[in-house]
Amino acid sequence: MKLHKALQPSFIKRMYYMRFIGKFTKAEREKNGENFFVQCLSPIPFTLQEQLKNEPYVFEGLCSNKKNEKIFSELKKRKLEKQLVMFRLYYERGHIYAELICTEEPREMANGYKMIPVPKVSDYRKGEALERKLSNGYLSFLMPKYPKDFEPPELLWHDGRLYGNISLKSSSISSIAYVEQQRECKYIDLNDWLKHVEIAVEDQLYFVSNHVYEQLKKRMTEEGKLVEVEEIKVQKDEWEWDERESVFLQYVKSFVRNKGLYLDETDIYNFHISTKTNMLTILGGIPGAGKSRFVQAYAEALGLQYGEELVWIPISPSYQEPHDLLGYLHPNGTFIESETKLVRALMKAKENQNQLYIIVFDEMNMSYIEHWFTPFLSVLQLEKQNRILNLYEGVQEKENPIPSTIEIGENIIFVGTVNFDETTKELSDRLLDRTNLITLQKIPFCEMYMEQEKVVLQPPLKVTAGEFRINWVRNKTMIEVFSEEELELLDKLHVLLSSHDMSKGISFRCANAIATYLQNIPFQNNHSYMISREEGFDLQIKQRVLTKIRGTEMMIGSLLSEEVKRGATLVPLLQSPLANRVSTFEHSLACIREKRRELELYGYAK
């Protein structure tokens, strides 16, 4: 069948996974045996209805298609007109063709058939999870065999229950995602479900005759019970309290206080979680907030010595390429190390793999970071065994005390400090997608009196690399960590951001990093988190997502607006019922207000 208008590629891909049922027409095969015709008896997508003539919809199939040929060879001894056939449609050079999947002899050939899809729910209590989604109206669910191209279904089947009295709308996050609008869903339990079904598609979609469909709807009206859901208790995380980590963090708090630094304890915990789960962490804040002093204090609490295991590298505006940081190969074959002595520190770290090292790039945005830090950006995201930094091409003629490659081990922590003023450069999205940008908060001066009491400290704990990066780190998969509400919110954030700017959004790397952060929030000895999960999620949105939103009023003004009438914006989303199930987003909303204020004052938000 030739179409008068081309189909969109995205629809063509979806169409291949759709299923239809029909019957062979009387002229099921032309005399030349090159094609056959199938009359569709089930619903077809709007996109095809617009291009086809009035019903009945008849599709042509090619006998030369191997799958069609196989089906016909199996049908030789059967009467074709008595067969109910399931088929898919595919698009080729402006034509739509039918491809046979299977045939069945029905109880009685009906004039038409309806589809009843099966929602896919991943929760450990699937039935209750689906009913919760049908009741709350903001959590979506997937129907893999029923994309948004069809009319929303009036009935659903799941785990022994038929659901009706529903008003579904497709969700923007996926072509197979739906959300219930009416929230007055009813159900009936059916023990004889398969007696109503004509053809089943992988237990994800069922075809029933129009007559049976109307009977089921009538039964739903007469016998249906209103879905009432008790809140599902979230499974508690396994309590994995590490006494050494808890003691260490209490020591850091006391040590920082004794150094005369007044920091919010959330900032201390936030920095610790980031350093143990990321190769690179960046600290920002107003000048004089104590960024550099805090990093030094944290390193000392780990038992590291300045100039030995703590390597301090002030970044100069003159740094323009990796050679400025690492060194270069002299024409005579000798590698000349940079004055930063970074290579020497990396070599020492390679020799002492159970010893932690912290390498600090102080004022790292005094020059464009990508100009001199590019080799590290590429290497730090690789698996441990592939994390190899190339210094120069191997030279045979001359023995070099410095090897041509250096492995960057798990025992190295990279930390950067940055300021944001007229003398510094912006951080790129490429960098921000790979790191937490933590902004230290200044506590009120009046609260300093509460922190005056000095504590007699014991010697540092001397934390090993294995302890820091293995014993204190949990490594569950992203799907195991996130709740359905958190995943849904991340999806909606991605759709919102990418709709404003295709280069923005939440990448898989970003989502994985958020999951890693959340599962590695340390416990206190009273079984509570040092940072609540809600606050941790909020901090990650601020530090990994909102940091990449910057620009002029024209670029990001509508995204930061609090006026819903201006279209989809961040504030209404972060204050929605779905978001309230995840966090209050105090940090993120404050960050958005700050960016909004910058736009008003300077016409540009950083």
The rounded distance, in Å, linking the Cα atoms of 14 and 140 is 19
pLDDT tens-place string over residues 356-369:
999 999 999 999 99
Residue 199's H or E segment, with its range, is strand 199-201
| 112-135 CB burial, b ≥16 within 10 A, e <16 | bbbbbbbbebeeeeeebbbbbbbb
Q: Which strands sit side by side in the sheet containing 156-158, from one edge to the other?
A: 156-158, 161-164, 186-189, 225-226
Tell me the average pLDDT across 263-270. Answer: 94
| Domain match, 368 and 502 both | no
pLDDT of 231 over the 90 cut: no
Please choose, from the candidates 483, 494, 586, the residue with its C-alpha nearest in 3D space to the C-alpha of residue 548.
494
Which of 235-239, 345-349, 368-372 is the least confident region? 235-239
Q: Which residues contact 386 (CB under 8 A, 6 or more apart)?
A: none
Q: Select the more confidently predicted residue: 458 or 349.
A: 349
User: Which of 226, 255, 289 is the last residue in one of the domains?
Assistant: 226
pLDDT of residue 528: 83
Encoding tokens for residue 32?
A: 């030349």
The pLDDT tens digits of the residues spanning 565-582 come to 555 799 999 999 999 999
- What is the tens place of the pLDDT at every residue in 464-486? 999 999 999 999 999 899 998 99
Number of C-beta neighbours around residue 79 at 10 A: 9
Structure confidence at residue 50 (pLDDT): 85
Q: What is the pLDDT of residue 214?
A: 96
Q: State residue 452's pLDDT score.
A: 59
Q: Distance between alpha carbon 376 and the CA centroid of its chain, in Å? A: 24
Phi, psi of 448 (to 5 degrees): -65, -30
Give the pair of three-digit tokens for residue 116: 């009843």
Same domain as 134, residue 252: no
Q: Would you say residue 92 has pLDDT above 60?
A: yes
**Average pLDDT of the chain, as a whole number:** 88
The yes-or-no verdict on residue 135 having pLDDT over 60 is: yes
- Of 219-228, 423-432, 520-529, where does mean pLDDT reach its minimum? 520-529
Instruction: Provide the residue type at 140 as one letter.
Output: S
595 falls in which pLDDT band (50, 70, 90)? very high
pLDDT of residue 257: 87
Best mean pLDDT range from 97-106, 326-335, 584-593, 597-606 = 584-593
Q: Answer whether 129's CB lies under 8 Å from 229's CB.
A: no
**Last residue in a domain, options 418, 436, 465:** 465
Q: Smallest Cα–Cα separation from 116: which of 14, 21, 222?
A: 21
Strand arrangement, sheet containing 113-117: 113-117, 205-209, 199-201
DSSP 8-state code for residue 82 = G
Per the CB < 8 A criterion, the answer to whether 367 and 360 are in contact is: no
Give me the pLDDT at residue 235, please. 47
Does some domain include residue 453?
yes
Given a cut of 50, whether residue 226 has pLDDT beyond it is yes
Instruction: In whole angstroms, give the CA distance from residue 35 to residue 31.
Output: 9
Does 474 map to a domain? no
Question: Lowest mean pLDDT: which of 218-232, 270-284, 287-301?
Answer: 218-232
**pLDDT at 283 (0 to 100):** 96
- Whether residue 325 has pLDDT greater than 90: yes
Overall size of the chain counted in residues: 606
Tokens 């309230």 correspond to: 580
Distances (CA, A) of 396 to 162, 333, 393, 557: 75, 9, 10, 58
Query: Would you state the pLDDT for residue 268?
Result: 95
pLDDT for 75 beyond 90: no
Residue 456 has pLDDT above 60, yes or no: no
Tell me if the bond preceding 460 is cis, omega within 30° of 0: no
Same domain (yes/no): 348, 402: yes
Higher pLDDT, residue 356 or 454: 356
| Dist. CA 106–CA 96, nearest whole Å | 26
Q: How far apart are the first and last CA of the chain?
A: 55
For residues 130 and 84, state if they share a domain.
no
SS3 assignment for 107-149: CCCCCCEEEEECCECCCCCHHHHHHHHHHHCCCCEECCCCCCC
State the pLDDT at residue 526: 64
Domain match, 544 and 567 both: yes
Instruction: Answer whether residue 476 is part of any domain.
Output: no
Given a cut of 50, is residue 13 above it in pLDDT?
yes
Flag whether 2 is in a domain: no
Q: Does 94 have pLDDT greater than 90?
A: no
CA distance 532 to 522: 10
Residue 84 belongs to a domain: yes
What pLDDT is attached to residue 239? 52
Which among 561, 474, 541 is positioned nearest to 237, based on CA atoms? 474
Query: Residue 381's beta-bridge partner residues?
Result: none
Which pLDDT band holds residue 234 (cuts at 50, 70, 90)? Answer: very low
Mean pLDDT within 95-113? 89
State which residues form the domain around 62.
9-104
Q: Residue-wise over 243-262: b if at least 16 C-beta within 10 A, else e? A: eebbebbebbbbbbbeeebb
75 and 165: one domain? no
Pick from 398, 276, 384, 388: nearest CA to 336: 398
More confidently predicted of 537 and 386? 537
Please tell me whether residues 399 and 334 are part of one structural domain: yes
Given 84, 104, 124, the domain boundary residue is: 104
Quick one: average pLDDT of 352-381?
92
The CA–CA distances, whole Å, from 134 to 33, 145, 163, 185, 488 equal: 50, 19, 9, 7, 15
Co-location of 289 and 426 in the same domain: yes
State whether 133 and 208 are in the same domain: yes
Whether residue 501 is predicted with pLDDT greater than 70 in this model: the reply is yes
- Span 172-225, pLDDT tens digits: 888 899 988 887 899 999 999 999 999 999 989 999 999 999 999 999 999 999
The residue whose two tokens read 């910057």 is 550
31 pLDDT above the threshold of 80: no
Q: Are residues 429 and 539 in the same domain?
A: no
Does the structure show a pLDDT above 80 at 449? no
Same structural domain for residues 254 and 119? Answer: no
Say if residue 287 is in the same domain as residue 382: yes
Does 1 fall in a domain?
A: no
CATH code assigned at 428: 3.40.50.300
Domain total of the chain: 4
Kindly indicate the confidence band of residue 236, based on its pLDDT and cuts at 50, 70 and 90.
very low
The verdict on residue 580 lying in a domain is yes
Does residue 505 surpass a pLDDT of 80? yes
- Does 232 fall in a domain? no
**How many Å apart are CA 95 and CA 101, to the nearest integer?**
19
